[in-house]
Amino acid sequence: MAAETAAPDFAALAVGDVVAERGFPLSRDSLVRYAGASGDFNPIHYRDDVAASVGLPGVLAHGMLTMGFAVQPVVDWAGDPGRVVDYQVRFTRPVVVDPVDGALVTVSAKVGQLDEAQAVARIDLTVKLGDDTVLGKAQVRVALG
């Protein structure tokens, strides 16, 4: 079991503060591993021919994989996953994973709102593949009191 670390200082936060940034490289191997772990073996996540046959631009990363790693920088910043009290996203664009070059998804986590009465910070995530936003209205509520 991972040791809990001290929570970030709520009083030191300001709306607009960037609390975490990270890049997540994906490969086709990443997708196969995730399929095995999740049980989601839909062939659009590993076969180009199937993806093309249903009109997709290529093999896509699993939405839950994208959602999962997008919140990880906030979990690391918070010091304890139990501090995350709510997490919501809107899937806006698929993550196409090139068979050779893979894909690099970037995440920036910024304080969007502070609830002083409850010591809860809303962290807004910007999740992109290149210039394209892949998760919209991605927000994490973190209890820091």
Q: What is the pTM for the complete model shown?
A: 0.92
Here the tokens at position 90 are 């809107």
| Span 136-140, average pLDDT | 97
Dump pLDDT digits (tens) for 104-115: 999 999 999 999
Q: In what order do the strands lie in the sheet with 132-143?
A: 18-26, 103-115, 120-129, 132-143, 84-91
CB burial class (10 A; 0-12, 13-18, 19+) of residue 34? buried
For residue 138, what are its two tokens? 């991605």
Fold for 14-26+62-143, please state it: Thiol Ester Dehydrase; Chain A (3.10.129)
pLDDT at 1 over 70: no
